[in-house]
């Protein structure tokens, strides 16, 4: 029986608009091995690993008369070379040119008639480097597994691990009769789910998503915070179809030094860094900043116990934190952020992933996806910006023998959200990816530089 999209996965298809493409992405910069790394090698690598992620060879098929949610079916015409693409910068390609390319690619929606993913090999970078840019639709990130294509491509040694022979043959695509029969069968098993689906139009899906959002807020003490609208901020603006992409590069050791000196957690230091950077960004724009000025951030955090590390699943909560951007003293900023985060953890003031799961089968495999998914439903009334922080491995990784140097997340924008901030730690570094609206955030590179400067300011207090 074909897998059926969940209610929330379906909503991401219906809610997608030219100004809000619903895909998550990433930029990975690599140093190729002495033997080289080209397009054919990337295609071969993906062909050898794609069996580990079956969804990447499936597309979406609608049910006649919308009797039930669409289903995933094997793509009989699957062609890996359609999804694996090649681009080149004029040598020697600069980092700025690479960021511009990321912005252009992330502005384009994925083809609904194909499996919903793309990966680009970028050649021509300065210093002999190469890059991979990935795009995966939210509907692909269904929470049943924490494994995606990017993960299965990576190895812990320069020598790629061997995989078994791929004997994939596409399953027959269900016809109209099969799809209707499946819908009726689902109705017998889960009548309320199908009733909701039959009602669904674009407007109905928007209303359903809003009801889910309201229900989740109502299930937690975060509702009290949610009753107060997020502060007015240039971080919230009407957005268009085009994007800008900025980055910041920092050292994990620096965050740990600040944490050791002042207490709290590494994530507290990250949020203090973001708060100081946003303060100076607002000042650089001539925006009014008073001692009471705040920016409300939605911060997905792991609530997994140590014994659960490495387990798949959904032990994630999202805290709503008012960042004290009106405060200039870095030590006071860190103290206030640490106090707020500790209060959230002790009082349960969070938008809980478990509550979302109970309502809609929502179980994201990564914090970045969690942040983007919740942002799409909550952005306008709950917060100004999403900040996702995903800890990564602290040892080198390789793709086809190419050493991974840097990895930058690309968290999509919700409607009315001018910028999203994602960061990933890897092999001693902490890498920020700033996905921004092209018109509203012409100074996204300024924000990237201010993030680096703000961490330096915090270090000076040690």
Q: Report how far residue 261's alpha carbon sits from residue 3's, in angstroms, rounded to the nearest whole number.
A: 51
Q: Report how far residue 293's alpha carbon sits from residue 7's, in angstroms, rounded to the nearest whole number.
A: 38
Between CA 437 and CA 443, with CA 440 as vertex, the angle to 5 degrees is 90
Which of 138, 262, 344, 368 is the catalytic position? 138
Is 262 tagged catalytic? Answer: no
What are the φ and ψ backbone dihedral angles of 379, each rounded to 5 degrees?
-55, -50
Q: Look at residues 411, 304, 423 and name the one whose alpha carbon lies nearest to residue 354.
A: 304
Query: How far are the Cα atoms of 111, 149, 176, 318 from residue 6, in angstroms, in the given order?
Result: 20, 21, 20, 21
Q: Report how far residue 21's alpha carbon sits from residue 117's, in angstroms, rounded to the nearest whole number.
A: 13
Q: Report how far residue 319's alpha carbon sits from residue 317's, in angstroms, rounded to the nearest whole number.
A: 7
Whether 332 and 264 have beta carbons less than 8 Å apart is answered as no
What are the φ and ψ backbone dihedral angles of 409, each rounded to 5 degrees?
-75, 155
Catalytic site positions: 138
């Amino acid at each position: 029986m074909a897998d059926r999209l969940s209610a929330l996965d379906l909503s991401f298809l219906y809610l997608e608009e030219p100004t809000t493409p619903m895909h998550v992405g990433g930029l990975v910069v690599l140093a190729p091995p002495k033997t080289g790394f080209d397009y054919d090698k990337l295609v071969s690598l993906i062909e050898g690993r794609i069996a580990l992620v079956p969804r990447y060879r499936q597309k979406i098929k609608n049910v006649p008369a919308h009797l039930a949610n669409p289903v995933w079916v094997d793509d009989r015409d699957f062609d890996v070379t359609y999804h694996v693409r090649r681009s080149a910068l004029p040598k020697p390609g600069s980092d700025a040119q690479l960021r511009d390319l990321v912005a252009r690619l992330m502005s384009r929606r994925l083809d609904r008639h194909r499996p919903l993913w793309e990966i680009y090999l970028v050649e021509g970078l300065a210093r002999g480097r190469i890059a991979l840019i990935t795009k995966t639709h939210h509907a692909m990130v269904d929470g049943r597994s924490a494994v995606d294509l990017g993960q299965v491509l990576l190895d812990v040694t320069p020598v790629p691990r061997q995989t078994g022979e791929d004997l994939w043959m596409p399953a027959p695509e269900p016809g109209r009769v099969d799809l209707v029969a499946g819908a009726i069968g689902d109705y017998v098993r889960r009548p309320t789910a199908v009733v909701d689906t039959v009602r669904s139009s674009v407007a109905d899906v928007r209303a359903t998503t809003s009801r889910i959002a309201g229900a989740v807020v109502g299930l937690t003490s975060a509702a009290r915070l949610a009753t107060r609208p997020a502060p007015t901020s240039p971080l919230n603006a009407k957005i268009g179809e085009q994007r800008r992409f900025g980055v910041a590069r920092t050292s994990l050791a620096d965050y740990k030094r600040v944490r050791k000196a002042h207490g709290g957690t590494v994530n507290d230091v990250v949020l203090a860094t973001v708060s100081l950077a946003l303060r100076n960004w607002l000042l650089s724009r001539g925006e009014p900043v008073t001692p009471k000025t705040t920016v409300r951030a939605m911060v997905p955090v792991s609530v997994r116990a140590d014994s659960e590390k490495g387990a798949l699943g959904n032990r994630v909560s999202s805290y709503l934190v008012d960042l004290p951007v009106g405060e200039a003293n870095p030590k006071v900023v860190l103290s206030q952020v640490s106090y707020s985060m500790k209060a959230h953890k002790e009082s349960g003031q969070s938008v809980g992933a478990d509550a979302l799961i109970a309502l809609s089968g929502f179980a994201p495999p990564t914090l970045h996806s969690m942040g983007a998914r919740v942002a799409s439903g909550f952005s306008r009334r709950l917060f100004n910006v999403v900040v996702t922080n995903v800890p990564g491995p602290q040892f080198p990784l390789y793709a086809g023998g190419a050493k991974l140097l840097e990895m930058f997340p690309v968290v999509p924008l919700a409607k009315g959200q001018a910028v999203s901030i994602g960061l990933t730690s890897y092999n001693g570094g902490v890498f920020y990816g700033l996905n921004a609206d092209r018109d509203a955030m012409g100074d996204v590179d300024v924000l990237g530089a201010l993030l680096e400067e703000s961490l330096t300011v915090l270090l000076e207090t040690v």
